[in-house]
């Protein structure tokens, strides 16, 4: 009995060796591009197995990332996602089946990987990244994001930059970020405070240009205008108080019919159910193959960073697959006036005769700011406060005032937004 147990032990080690032999041939000896200082060997493998990785998002990219990390020798992986599985996920999120629709993405994905790849531990959290604080994020060696929201990327980026303590090297958590749209995608590697961060590159993802309200209300031309009208104006008129649920087919059907009626009135062709859904839910086309490319690129970089087996990406790769195959690599530089990792305030050109209200609205649309609910203050006084209600009421009269009466040319202001944990510093520059 005891002999049998003893015998199974070396066998187990042996089979585990064999299982990872492809990876070990890379991790135990260097190649011509490997940094000569990297100490490849058994220690590298231990380091890989002991490192704790956080994956944000268990969707199209996330499923791939979890699979790739598990088959790259990582053993301790955590995953956060607040979503549940929808039937339209099944064309690419390959860890989910029809019977899983409605369940937590993070939980189902984690259980699937653990079952398929022996010896890997995946810890799911079904919730928002904002639920967690620095004490949570500090436990990881590296964070990989497979998100579809710019806001969530900015939040985790700001959090990781904020955690860096120059005295303590372990406080620096590399962030690897992937994104896709149709046949295109990009991956980037961020070393918080050391290299260009997501906020430095914010103008790569400008907000979608909003159609002016008067076009929607009076002179629609495109099917999209009719759909936006149904969503913004018709809904408010007929179903005030009811909150639009973009996953509720009854709501989408209602909007579709309203949009269709309006399109007929103006003789605008092209309103379909599918387009309605696309416009209302801001749907981005997504396919398995693009997710595979970008997720694997991110995990390839993660493996190189953690083990040092080869140099990693400096710091951005864009993949374009709709016309031939094309990769574009670029090393972004930190911007000194980055509100997250820079130390200079960002210039904010304004028309001094415009109102504070107009400035606040423009901050949502400006590619370099994208703040939807900013609270603004100068060094000495509060310009406008979104909350609490008492302060909002007190500062509301400022909204109508011209900027000239509130801030001087060259004066610094700080903007905070409930979506982000940090202040954005701007320097007001009067446009002549």
Contact 89, 103 (CB under 8 A): no
Taking alpha carbons only, the member of 240, 210, 196 closest to residue 338 is 196
- Could you say whether residue 21 binds another protein (CB under 8 A)? yes
Exactly one of 130, 222, 334, 386 binds another protein (CB under 8 A); which one? Answer: 222
What residues from 347 to 376 belong to the interface with another protein (CB under 8 A)?
A: none
* CA geometry: angle 184, 305, 76, nearest 5 deg: 95
As beta bridge partners, residue 143 has: 54, 175
Among 162, 207, 278, 352, the residue binding another protein under the rule CB under 8 A is 278
Q: How far is CA 351 from CA 122, 176, 337, 372, in A?
A: 53, 38, 21, 20
Q: How far is the CB of 257 from another protein (least distance, A)?
A: 7
DSSP 104: B
**Mask of contacts with another protein, 107-146, x by CB under 8 A?**
---------xxx----------------------------
Q: What is the 3-state secondary structure (H, E, C) of 5-25?
A: HHHHHHHHHHHHHHHCHHHHH
Strand partners, 78: 54, 123
Nearer to another protein, 21 or 237 (CB): 21
The yes or no reply on residue 263 touching another protein (CB under 8 A) is yes
Q: Where are the alpha helices (DSSP H) in 28-59?
A: 42-50
E runs forming strands in 151-250: 175-181, 184-190
86-97 burial string, b = 16+ CB within 10 Å, else e? eeebeebbbbbe
Q: Does 175 bind another protein (CB under 8 A)?
A: no
Cα-only R_g, the chain: 25
Is 300 a binder of another protein (CB under 8 A)? yes
Q: Is 279 near another protein (CB under 8 A)? A: no
Q: Are 286 and 179 in contact (CB under 8 A)?
A: no
Secondary structure of residue 240 in the 3-state scheme: coil
CA 308 – CA 258 distance, rounded (Å): 58
Residues in CB range of 351: below 8 A, 6 or more apart: 403, 430, 431
Nearest distance from C-beta of residue 63 to another protein, angstroms: 10
Evaluated on CA atoms 328, 333, 334, 335, the torsion sign reads negative
Residues 150-169 binding another protein (CB under 8 A) are none
Binding segment toward another protein, per CB under 8 A, in 47-55, 171-179, 261-269, 340-348: 261-269
Work out how close the CB of 6 gets to another protein at its nearest, in angstroms, rounded to a whole number.
21
Is 214 among the catalytic positions? yes
Report if residue 100 touches another protein, rule: CB under 8 A: no
Among 319, 420, 424, 426, which residue interacts with another protein (rule: CB under 8 A)? 319
Could you tell me if 405 and 378 are in contact, meaning their C-beta atoms sit under 8 angstroms apart?
no
Beta-carbon contacts of residue 157 (< 8 Å; ≥ 6 apart): 175, 190, 192, 197, 198, 199, 340
Is the CB of 161 or the CB of 227 nearer to another protein?
227
Identified catalytic residue from 214, 226, 298, 341: 214
User: By CB under 8 A, is residue 404 in contact with another protein?
Assistant: no
Which residue's CB is nearer to another protein, number 270 or number 336?
Answer: 270
- Written as six digits, the tokens of 313 are 């990406």
Q: Is 400 in the site for another protein (CB under 8 A)?
A: no
Given the complex with another protein, which of 113 and 143 has the nearer CB atom? 113
Does 75 contact another protein by CB under 8 A?
Answer: no
Q: Closer to another protein by CB, 128 or 239: give it.
A: 239
User: In this chain, which of 15, 169, 380, 390 binds another protein, going by CB under 8 A?
Assistant: 15
Question: Per-residue DSSP letters for 129-196?
Answer: GGG--HHHHTT-SEEEEE-S-HHHHHHHHHHHHHH-BTTBGGG---EEEEEEETTEEEEEEE-TTTS-
CB 279 to another protein: min, Å: 12
User: Is there binding between residue 194 and another protein (CB under 8 A)?
Assistant: no
Told to check if 64 binds another protein by CB under 8 A, we report yes
The verdict on 257 binding another protein (CB under 8 A) reads yes
Tokens found for residue 269:
């062709």
- Residues contacting another protein: total by CB under 8 A: 87
Distance CA 311, CA 315 (A): 11
User: Which residues in the 29-58 window bind another protein by CB under 8 A?
Assistant: 29-33
CB of 89 to another protein, least distance (A): 8
20 binds another protein (CB under 8 A): yes
Closer residue to another protein in complex, CB, 144/415: 144
Q: Of 46, 168, 329, 402, which one interacts with another protein (CB under 8 A)?
A: 329
- Asked if 187 interacts with another protein (CB under 8 A), we say yes
35 versus 405: smaller Cβ distance to another protein: 35
Give the residue numbers marked as catalytic.
214
């Amino acid at each position: 009995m005891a002999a049998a147990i003893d015998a199974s032990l070396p066998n187990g080690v042996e089979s585990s060796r064999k299982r990872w032999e492809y990876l070990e041939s890379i991790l135990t000896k260097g190649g011509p591009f490997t940094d000569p200082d990297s100490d490849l060997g058994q220690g590298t493998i231990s380091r890989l197995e002991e490192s704790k990785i956080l994956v944000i998002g268990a969707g199209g990219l996330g499923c791939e990332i979890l699979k790739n990390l598990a088959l790259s020798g990582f053993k301790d992986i955590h995953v956060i996602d607040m979503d549940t599985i929808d039937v339209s996920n099944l064309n690419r999120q390959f860890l989910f089946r029809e019977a899983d629709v409605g369940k937590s993405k993070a939980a189902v994905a984690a259980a699937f990987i653990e079952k398929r790849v022996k010896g890997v531990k995946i810890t799911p959290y079904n919730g928002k990244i904002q639920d967690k604080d620095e004490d949570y994020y500090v436990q990881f060696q590296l964070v990989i994001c497979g998100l579809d929201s710019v806001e969530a990327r900015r939040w985790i980026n700001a959090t990781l930059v904020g955690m860096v303590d120059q005295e303590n090297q372990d406080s620096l958590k590399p962030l690897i970020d992937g994104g896709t749209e149709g046949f295109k995608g990009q991956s980037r590697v961020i070393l918080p405070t050391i290299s260009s961060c997501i906020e430095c590159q914010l103008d790569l993802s400008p907000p979608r240009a909003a159609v002016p309200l008067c076009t929607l209300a009076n002179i629609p031309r495109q099917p999209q205008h009719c759909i936006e009208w149904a969503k913004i104006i018709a809904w408010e008129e007929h179903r005030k108080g009811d909150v639009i649920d973009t996953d509720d087919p009854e709501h989408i059907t209602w909007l579709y019919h309203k949009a269709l009626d309006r399109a007929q009135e103006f003789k605008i062709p092209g309103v379909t159910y599918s387009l309605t859904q696309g416009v209302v839910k801001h749907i981005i086309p997504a396919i398995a193959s693009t997710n595979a490319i970008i997720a694997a690129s991110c995990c390839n970089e993660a493996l190189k960073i953690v083990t040092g087996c080869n140099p990693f990406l400096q710091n951005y790769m864009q993949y374009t697959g709709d016309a031939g195959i094309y990769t574009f690599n670029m090393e972004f530089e930190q911007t000194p006036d980055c509100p997250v990792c820079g130390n200079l305030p960002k210039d904010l050109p304004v028309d001094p005769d415009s109102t504070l209200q107009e400035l606040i609205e423009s901050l949502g649309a400006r590619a370099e700011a994208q703040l939807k609910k900013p609270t603004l203050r100068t060094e000495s006084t509060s310009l406008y406060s979104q909350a609490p209600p008492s302060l909002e009421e007190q500062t509301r009269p400022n909204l109508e005032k011209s900027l000239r009466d509130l801030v001087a040319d060259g004066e610094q202001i700080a903007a905070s937004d409930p979506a982000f944990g940090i202040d954005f510093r701007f320097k007001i520059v009067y446009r002549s």
